């Protein structure tokens, strides 16, 4: 999970800045849509892990 979060930010962050400098706004918007989905996925995964960890304390 940590790999997904950091790899997503490092790889796509560099790509977004490079494409923005080149003026390829359509590509930047497409990549940002993808990174938002990955961010929501990692957030949902963290919430699920926290819920599972707290619920297992009571069983």
SS3 state of residue 59: coil
Q: Is-contact 3 11, C-beta < 8 A?
A: no
Predicted TM-score of the model (pTM): 0.70
Q: Tally the domains of the chain.
A: 1
Task: Identify the DSSP state of 31.
Answer: H
Q: Is 55 a residue whose pLDDT tops 80?
A: yes
Given a cut of 80, whether residue 2 has pLDDT beyond it is: no
pLDDT in tens, 3-54: 877 888 888 889 999 999 999 999 999 999 999 998 898 899 999 999 999 9
- Domain span including residue 29: 2-56
Q: Which residues lie below 8 Å from residue 14, measured CB to CB, with a gap of 6+?
A: none
Higher pLDDT, 2 or 42: 42
* pLDDT higher than 80, residue 59: no
Per-residue DSSP letter, 20: H
């Amino acid at each position: 999970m940590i790999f997904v979060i950091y790899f997503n930010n490092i790889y796509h962050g560099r790509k977004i800045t490079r494409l923005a400098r080149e003026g390829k706004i359509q590509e930047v918007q497409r990549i940002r849509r993808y990174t938002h989905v990955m961010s929501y996925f990692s957030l949902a995964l963290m919430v699920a892990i926290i819920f599972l960890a707290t619920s297992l304390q009571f069983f």
